[in-house]
Structure 1
Amino acid sequence: MTDLIAELDPTQWYRDGRGPRYKQLHRHIRGLVSSGDLAAEDQLPSEREIADRAQISRVTVRKAIAELVADGLIEQRHGAGSFVRASSNRFEQSLSSLVSFTENLQARGITSASRVLLKGLFRPTPTEAMVLGLSPHHQVARINRLRSGDGVPMALEYSSLPEDVLPRPDKIDLSLYELLRARGTAPTRAIQRVIAVNATAPVADLLDLAEGAAVLQIERTAYLASGRPIEFTSGIYRSDIYDFVSELRLD
């Protein structure tokens, strides 16, 4: 078990302008659980101990713990205290099938939502031009979205497609792949790369995480049956929620 008392010092978790103290403390403790620094069945200090060390009120501590309980990370046991839950709900997403975020959550009975951060037609960056085979005079459709499930922020997705594949990115409502299928331009295969990165301050704010928390970044290039690349997406997913799995077969 990590030295949680030391981790509760305000210098470890509080930053001016980063939101209410209870939210910042909630993110910090959740990050310790996600990283494994706080393991299953570890007991949290009492409200009074947390308040004293974190230099906040017990009401603020109570609100932070309540959010951790709502996240399914902490269990409060009557007469015993607050403990890290032995297990939490996680999502397995296959790396071997082209299923959209919306479809993946719908299959689990979870209500998905998207907050559009950016959409429109732009000049391609050098990376977009190279990956999608575009010349500098072409335009690229970009859609940047914050994806949530049952109100919990889960992922950031930054998608780029050639203009002729998606001439009206402003028409995107929820599922990009649903629209592409309707247009007969849905990809049939993709190449993906998964890497572990640390959340920057802007990413952490959007995903309700502590700055520097471990997240998973996936870069995907999707192709039509003809072999033409028509989608380049960089996604950042919360590692405390997602497990990416792939099936291996003997050739």
Structure 2
Amino acid sequence: MSVVDFLTPEKWLQPDGGPRYVQLRKRLSEGVDQGLLKAGSSLPPEREIATITELSRVTVRKAIQALAEDGIIVQKQGSGSFVASDAPQIEQSLSRLTSFSEDMSRRGMVSSSVWLERGVFMPSPDEVLALALTPDASVSRIARLRTADDKPMAIERASLSTEVLPNPLMVETSLYDVLEQSGLRPVRALQKISAINLEEENANLLDVAPGMAGLRIERTSYLADGRVVEFTQSIYRGDAYNFVAELRLAKE
């Protein structure tokens, strides 16, 4: 159902249903609850809502202000009104090499996964380069949607040499727990973080509006002897993560 169809007044506006702004506030709130208006998506402009609903702009403005007071939407000067995020806010240190499961456990949150891919494949050119593989090598891939307290948070796609992870089905929860059991847990990593706008496929997995801000993180992890263990490409919700790094004054 489109937003225009959802807001058509014949479907919800009642003459004896109370103040019109209250009815509109309830209808918009239902749109959020039903997922029609996703977290991070923008509401149509007041003028457009007034035209669709056949209500005055004053009535529309009162309804939107009420939603903002309830924390259902966020008003940004010069940008409009947006559906507020329902994701937990995570402050992630860039100085610690931990798994998603460990991060969520430290915060008292329950992590889980939805598997998107798990198997052994021929490596892509990026995987050959990142993992220092020979052209005839194979690679184990595990891709999953990571959730915290049932809220989708990130899409992780990890690639490892089959010498490091011969059977990707061994990974049921934490990849790092499996690597630690074989003495191959990484001890350091290099990360590259870039800002993106989420494409439709990834936005749908993360249950946010397409075009919403996100973070792309590429990480290459190493053993103490310098060998590459893991190459990970992840997409994070931009409204859920704050990455923090401690900086010190360099000595001359």
Q: TM-score, normalised by structure 2?
A: 0.70
Give CA-to-partner distance per residue, 1:61-113, whole Å, 9 cap, x none.
Answer: xxxx99xx7xx7559xxxxxxx988x984100111111100000001110100
Matches within 5 A, 1:193-212: 193-212=192-211
The residue that corresponds to 1:180 in the other structure is: 179
Larger radius of gyration: 2
One-letter amino acid matched to 2:245: S
The residue that corresponds to 1:237 in the other structure is: 236
- Aligned-partner Cα distance in 1 for 2:3–2:114: 34
Structure 1 residues 169, 50: closer, same or farther in 2, change over 3 A? farther
Across the aligned residues of Structure 1 and Structure 2, the Cα RMSD in angstroms comes to: 3.3
User: What is the CA-CA distance between 1:50 and the residue it aligns to?
Assistant: 10
- Aligned-partner Cα distance in 1 for 2:3–2:147: 31
User: What is the CA-CA distance between 1:200 and the residue it aligns to?
Assistant: 0.9
CA contact (8 A) 2:89 2:241 kept: yes
User: What is the CA-CA distance between 1:30 and the residue it aligns to?
Assistant: 2.7
Gaps of 5+ in 2: 6-29, 55-65, 75-81
Which segment is superposed worse, 152-161 or 170-179? 170-179
- Aligned-partner Cα distance in 2 for 1:88–1:52: 30
The residue that corresponds to 1:26 in the other structure is: 37
Give CA-to-partner distance per residue, 1:189-244, whole Å, 9 cap, x none.
Answer: 00001000111111011000111111001000000111111100011000111111
- Aligned-partner Cα distance in 1 for 2:225–2:200: 40
Matches within 5 A, 1:38-53: 52=53
Matches within 5 A, 1:78-89: 89=88
- Aligned-partner Cα distance in 1 for 2:72–2:248: 35
The residue that corresponds to 2:221 in the other structure is: 222
Aligned length: 201
Give CA-to-partner distance per residue, 1:9-46, whole Å, 9 cap, x none.
Answer: 649xxxxxxxx97545321x63349xxxxxxxxxx98x
Gaps of 5+ in 1: 1-7, 12-19, 34-43, 54-64, 76-82
- Aligned-partner Cα distance in 1 for 2:181–2:188: 17
- Aligned-partner Cα distance in 1 for 2:192–2:214: 14
The residue that corresponds to 1:97 in the other structure is: 96
CA contact (8 A) 2:40 2:212 kept: no
One-letter amino acid matched to 1:110: M
Matches within 5 A, 1:50-61: 52=53
Structure 1 residues 24, 139: closer, same or farther in 2, change over 3 A? same
- Aligned-partner Cα distance in 2 for 1:106–1:50: 48
Q: TM-score, normalised by structure 1?
A: 0.71
Structure 1 residues 118, 96: closer, same or farther in 2, change over 3 A? same
The residue that corresponds to 2:121 in the other structure is: 122
